[in-house]
Chain A
């Protein structure tokens, strides 16, 4: 009983194609690429750090600096600051932009940090992650005292070269869109003067 050549070749060819396919898949997915697990882990770690600060009981001013450091570590501050500034970011000089970016980072740490009391005794559970367009959306649910559970979504990207989140969406309310409106209004008040905006940001939040 000899096998027909066809019957031998078929599985072989499939095996070969399979190997090529696997090789291509490996080549297309570099080892550092962001995946759902990594995106999820990034948000979990940053939340753990935020809660460690909230539960530390240190004075508020110290907490705001700690929140700012966590924000700088896990968020893509560069793209958030750039997007919040809008078209004006393209006209800004490098040094001028860097100064604004630094002021923006401190402003975010204070503005959102100020709300830490609402999070005492609360928890945020990371529930899942999924790819969206060119980035990942990590979903979580916030259980705050005396409020019904809130959906919180984090958008994570590795486009900056590192895995960082660049937007937080709480029950549909988008941090990036909200800061665009706010920074836009602050810049308009200063008639487009970026240095004056940076100075205002250092007082705000």
Chain B
């Protein structure tokens, strides 16, 4: 365990490259990317298209939204805990209220009255962000099988989120697995809804690995408030 932590800290302290990208595992990452891309084309995309295929207002998309709500609701206690660990009590309290409202009035989380009627929208966070708040560097870029883009810091965060999820203590094993299944299903549904964006990056760019890496890192840094300098092309 200590060795694992030391290895991560060492990897995280490495400098970002010229383009603000630190990718020492690029050869392995590219192989995993090719696998993920094939999986997307053959499995996730057809599945997502089927789930979102009934049109914007069809029954299918409502059912999918409910399943997605159910899955995300179960993730809220973990998020509240992370907000607290980041020293942000206000979002931790709001997230707890959101969980209480949606678990009761929202019929076990299938509906979202907290977001629709109580102005308590989802305030996303995870242990990767907690590590960032605690001062850990971003680390190396990673592409994980099935999961997709990440960094050594975020991958470590995912492991901690999974191990320390408070819901694991409250639900039995079957209930917990159903919750995880709901979240995976809603991810496939998102693939259907945002299909054009994913297609454009994953299947239409000249170097889909480099495009995915860049776009994901920029978005993640924006979420964490770690964006770099603005580009000024006139000064170059």
Contact, CB under 8 Å: A134 / B232: yes
Q: Is B6 an interface residue (CB 8 A)?
A: no
CB of A174 within 8 A of CB of B218, answer yes
B234: Cβ under 8 A from any A Cβ? yes
Task: Give A132-191 interface residues, CB cut-off 8 Å to B.
Answer: 132-135, 137, 145-146, 148, 155, 157, 159, 166-167, 171-174, 176-178, 181-182, 185-186, 189
Contact, CB under 8 Å: B231 / A83: yes
**Chain B 34-52 near chain A by CB (<8 Å), digits 1 or 0:** 0000000000000000000
Q: Which residues of A contact B218 (CB under 8 A)?
A: 172-174, 177
Bound-state Cα–Cα, A148 to B227, Å:
21
In the complex, whether B104 has a CB less than 8 A from a CB of chain A is no
Is the beta-carbon distance between B215 and A178 smaller than 8 angstroms? yes
Which residue from A137, A146, A182 sits with its C-beta under 8 Å from B205? Answer: A182
Q: B: which residues have CB within 8 A of A?
A: 56, 121, 193, 196-197, 200, 205-207, 210-211, 214-215, 218-223, 227, 230-236
The answer for the CA separation of A117 and B56 in the assembled complex, in Å, is: 12
Given B193, B196, B232, which contacts A135 in the complex, CB threshold below 8 Å? B232
Q: How far is the CB of A1 from chain B (nearest CB, A)?
A: 61
A159 and B234 within 8 A (CB): yes
Residues from chain B with Cβ under 8 Å of A178 in the complex? 211, 214-215
State the interface size on chain A (CB cutoff 8 A): 34
Contact residues in A for B200 (Cβ distance below 8 Å)? 111, 114-115
Contact with B along A103-123 (1 / 0, CB 8 A): 000000001001101100000
Binding site for B on A (CB under 8 A): 79-80, 82-83, 111, 114-115, 117-118, 132-135, 137, 145-146, 148, 155, 157, 159, 166-167, 171-174, 176-178, 181-182, 185-186, 189
Complex alpha-carbon distance, A181 and B236, angstroms = 17
Kindly list chain A residues whose C-beta atoms are within 8 Å of the C-beta of B233. Answer: 79-80, 82-83, 166-167, 176
Q: From A132, A137, A172, give the contact of B223 (CB < 8 A).
A: A172
- Contact in complex: A173, B215 (CB < 8 Å): yes
- Chain B: which residue is nearest A155 at the CB level? B230
**Ordered nearest first, which 10 A-B pairs have the shortest CB separation?**
A172-B222, A185-B207, A83-B233, A185-B206, A159-B234, A186-B206, A173-B218, A172-B218, A79-B233, A172-B219
Q: Judge whether B211 and A182 touch: CB under 8 Å.
A: yes
Give CA–CA (A80, B121) in the complex, Å. Answer: 37
User: Do residues B210 and A185 form an inter-chain contact, with CB atoms below 8 A?
Assistant: yes
Bound Cα distance from A79 to B222, whole angstroms: 25
Contact between B232 and A146 (Cβ–Cβ < 8 Å)?
no
**A173–B219 CB distance below 8 A:** yes
Chain A hits for B221, CB < 8 A: 172
For A148, the chain B residues whose CB sits under 8 A away are 121
Contacts of B235 in A (CB 8 A): 133-134
Q: Which A residues lie within 8 Å of B223 (CB)? A: 172
The reply to whether A176 and B231 contact each other, CB–CB distance below 8 Å, is: yes
| Cα separation A155 to B210 with both chains bound (whole Å) | 24
On whether the beta carbons of B210 and A181 are closer than 8 Å, the reply is: yes
From B230, which residue of chain A is reached at the shortest CB distance? A132
What separation, in Å, do the CA atoms of A44 and B155 have in the docked complex? 41
Q: Taking A148-B121, A173-B219 as contacts, is the C-beta distance between A167 and B211 under 8 angstroms? A: no
- Contact flag A182-B206 (CB < 8 Å), given A111-B200, A117-B196, A172-B222: yes
